[in-house]
A and B are shown apart, each in its own frame.
Chain A
Amino acid sequence: MKSSLHIPGLIGNINLVIDPLSAFFILIISIMSVLGIVYSIGYIKPYLNKNKSIFSHYLFLIILIISMLLVTVVQNALAFLIVWELMSLSSFFLVIFESEKKEVLSAGINYLITMHVSVLFLIAGFIMLSSTSGSYDFASFEGHVTNIPFILLFIGFGIKAGFVPFHTWLPKAHPAAPSHVSGLMSGIMIKTGIYGILRTLSWIPNPSKDIAYFVLAISVISALFGVLYAIAQHDLKKLLAYHSIENIGIIGMGIGIGMLGLAYDNDLIAILGFSGGILHILNHAIFKQLLFFAAGAVYNKTHTRNIEKLGGLVKSMPATSALFLTGSVAITGLPPLNGFISEFLIYLGLLNGLSIKNSSILIVFVISIAALALVGTMAMLCFTKAYGVVFLGVPRGQKAALVKNDVTKIMLIPMAVLASLTFIIGLFPQYVVKLLMIPVSVFVNTETFIMMDPYITILRTVSLSGLGFIMLFGLIYGLRTLMLRNKRVYNHNTWGCGYHAINNRMQYTASSYADLFLSFFKPFFSVNYGDIFEYYLINPVLKFNKKVIECFYWIQSGNTQQYILYGLIFLIFAIIYTVGTK
């Protein structure tokens, strides 16, 4: 679908095109936005009487959604930048909803500046492209994308998406925003960065091997880094934010594999990689939004995000707890939920890549397989921690103990919809993957789609095994219940190994749960499990910048004489220059 809009002046023709790729993103954005808005109705209630401008909040929410939709259809570099900035700006206002908190404001500023840096990279990339193609129209960029503009655009979009080391805004902005906004941001807004990368790729008929390896490497690092840091977090939303980095890394791995497939002329790998990556976009949107919503529900009831103060919520908030569990299983990539399917496709792409007779591919792909497996197990560690500490056991603090009932239906329904989506995609992947071929067709020749047929069959098997698993579980659980039916089942205190005065402070805490694992990864953290990139890369740059700037404070000393001296010096130098260039 294509329509064109002419705006007089600098922009020129703006083509609005809905191609399969845009359509895919529009679908995700629409579904997630609707759910987000429904959820927000319940979430925002406690703020209604707090002298908060709800109207402007919703205004910016609508602007954000519209601009995200526009980002996916606008096919003109200048117009794209405009809607892109509009998106960043409106989301910035959403982030600082609770602006009376200092850390929210500073996170907001950090976010705004980082987004601006991203736009500058995009501007640089688009300028390079448009100067070789001679037009701002996206269609004209095809074939003009060489390595440097690609990397510029990748960094620009990568900042939005949250690839390491451009991720530092993400763990700050997500916790600061209200939960429905974090859900939208993490679920779909950072995906617009992925959209940008995919859109850029659509202009490259055959990506070079260098950039393909670059994308794969940075994605693997992002995935590992994101999950490692997530384990160290005790702020529920920060934990989820780091998981977004991890999942962006997984998506990037899919894309990188697809690019390598194209680079090595192996369409099967390309199809598997791209379909895995693109499916993971959808999957991550679903379960991350689900998790953020559930985290928001917890926050709504307990007013704390510190998981060390939570616990035992499964009794007071059973529905939220079950939904969070679904999300956790899905994000860990376990069957039979949706996260497994996309990771499975990526694994298949990697495995098939081994058939390319090339030693570097072998090493890179095997390491990637191991990395993906490591990411999966680490995610498991992280989410058993999160779920176990937040919902299970006994409350660790007053706030969690005082929760009486679950959140309202209007908050639960969107979560339930999302949870059912994770099941649908996980249990019937063959249909989803067939549909997925439509956006993949943007990158890969459609004639080679026939190569996917065996994999559809495999997915059907996976689907059947998922269903079989559930049935088998039902059988075994039924058997167990049957066995227990006429037996005596006692309720008793937890077995304290002989110690009888067990209290809630003797539970295993989140930090002790993660400590064993983290203690082996100390070198990857800065002080107190802080972000190493921020500590060793960004902070020194900022400090240096500040120092350099402080060196120039003498300029505006307030002394008139000194001011005139500047003019004199400038004049003398200029005269010398004049005489010199005679």
Chain B
Amino acid sequence: MISTLILLFGLINLVMSITGRIKGLITLLSIQGFILFLIIIFSHDISLDLNFLFLIFETLVIKTIVIPSLLKIILFENNIFRETEPYIPNFYSLVISSIMLFTGIILMPFYLGVSISTILISLFFITTKKKLLTNVIGFAMLENGIFLFSLSVAEEMPVIVNMGILLDVFIAIFILGLLVKKINTVFNDSNTCALCNLKDCGCDD
């Protein structure tokens, strides 16, 4: 069961890498969060200790509901729904992401393989997509991958640290969202290409 879920999690990455609609991406993100929740339910004995409750809270509330809705709010405020043409055609993104995923699975079955390939795929995702919001989604995807990874060692993480991490990730996405909003109003453009003013080319502008 867990293996199936993890595979599903990995396949969602692939779908995400070719999805053009930002709304769809956010939904996929939410599904990933829910899969993480399911993985926790299936892999741990259900108990009432603080750590377990915390994990449930994090996946079910934060990853499945709060972060996607936050992203959606930004989406609707900015009226951007589609990713423009990415740096690399979607087909090649798919090929590269697939290679990453399957290499990961072959080398280190499941937990590790999928999570590390998710991390790499999400980094790749960020580098190829142009819209700022898509980049934030990529960041959330990265966090999902990391979370999947950390599940293997979840018992060892003290609650205080876990809470800190949760808070950090949440605020990070929140601030990034705020910045996206701000950038959209200031630059009138949500492409990352607009954010290339700060550079050094040796020329005196």
Contact = CB atoms under 8 A, between A and B. Distances in A.
- Whether A and B touch (Cβ < 8 Å) is answered with yes
Interface of A: 549-550, 553, 556-562, 564-565, 567-568, 571-572
A559 B196 contact: yes
Contact of B128 (A553, A561, A567): A561
Nearest to B116: A575
B195 A558 contact: yes
A571 B100 CA distance: 14
Given A550-B202, A553-B200, A556-B200, A564 B195 contact: no
Contacts of A550: 202
Contacts of B188: none
B126 A553 contact: no
A560 B202 contact: no
A561 B200 contact: no
A555 to B, nearest CB: 8
Given A553-B200, A561-B127, 12 more contacts: A556-B199, A557-B199, A558-B195, A558-B196, A558-B198, A560-B192, A560-B195, A561-B87, A561-B135, A561-B192, A564-B123, A565-B127
B200 A567 contact: no
Nearest to A550: B202
Interface of B: 87, 120, 123-124, 126-130, 135, 192-193, 195-202
Chief secondary structure at chain B's binding surface: loop
Nearest to B129: A561
Contact of B123 (A556, A557, A562, A568): A568
Contacts of A556: 199-201
Given A558-B195, A559-B192, A564 B200 contact: no
Please list the 10 inter-chain residue pairs (A to B) with the smallest Cβ-Cβ separation, ordered nearest first.
A558-B199, A558-B196, A556-B200, A561-B127, A565-B127, A568-B123, A553-B201, A564-B127, A553-B202, A556-B199
Given A560-B192, A561-B192, A568 B202 contact: no
Given A553-B201, A553-B202, A561-B87, A568 B124 contact: yes
A556 B200 CA distance: 6
Contacts of A553: 200-202
Contacts of A560: 135, 192, 195
7 contacts: A553-B200, A556-B201, A557-B196, A561-B192, A564-B123, A567-B123, A572-B120
B85 to A, nearest CB: 14
Contacts of B128: 561
A558 B197 contact: yes
Contacts of B192: 559-561
A567 B199 CA distance: 18
A578 to B, nearest CB: 13
Contact of B126 (A549, A557, A558, A561): A561
Contacts of B124: 568
Contacts of A561: 87, 126-130, 135, 192
A568 B199 contact: no
Most chain A C-beta atoms within 10 Å of own C-beta, residue among B120, B129, B197: B120
B48 to A, nearest CB: 39
A471 B147 CA distance: 103
Contacts of A564: 123, 126-127
Q: Which of A560, A562, A567, A571 has the most CB of B within 10 A?
A: A560
A568 B120 contact: yes
A549 B202 CA distance: 9
Contact of B127 (A558, A568, A572): A568
Nearest to A549: B202
A198 B161 CA distance: 65
B38 to A, nearest CB: 29
Contacts of A565: 127
Contacts of B130: 561
A572 B96 CA distance: 14
A571 B142 CA distance: 15
A211 B88 CA distance: 62
A568 B128 CA distance: 12
B132 to A, nearest CB: 9
B161 to A, nearest CB: 23
Contacts of B126: 561, 564
A566 to B, nearest CB: 10
A559 B126 CA distance: 12
B87 to A, nearest CB: 7
A549 B199 CA distance: 15
Contacts of A562: 127
A573 to B, nearest CB: 13
A572 B99 CA distance: 14
Contacts of B197: 558
Contacts of B129: 561
A411 B196 CA distance: 60
A556 to B, nearest CB: 4
A494 to B, nearest CB: 55
Contacts of B123: 564, 567-568, 571
B116 to A, nearest CB: 9
Contacts of A549: 202
A287 to B, nearest CB: 46
Nearest to A554: B201
A535 to B, nearest CB: 24
Nearest to B123: A568
A332 B139 CA distance: 77
B145 to A, nearest CB: 14
Nearest to A579: B107
B189 to A, nearest CB: 14
Contacts of B201: 553, 556-557
A561 B125 CA distance: 10
Interface centre among A559, A561, A567 (most CB of B within 10 A): A561
A567 to B, nearest CB: 7
B100 to A, nearest CB: 10
Nearest to B130: A561
A524 B17 CA distance: 66
A560 B183 CA distance: 14
A412 to B, nearest CB: 48
A564 B139 CA distance: 11
B143 to A, nearest CB: 15
Contacts of A572: 120
A377 to B, nearest CB: 49
A487 B155 CA distance: 122
Nearest to B197: A558
Contacts of A557: 196, 199, 201
A558 B203 CA distance: 14
A560 B196 CA distance: 8
A110 to B, nearest CB: 20
A543 to B, nearest CB: 14
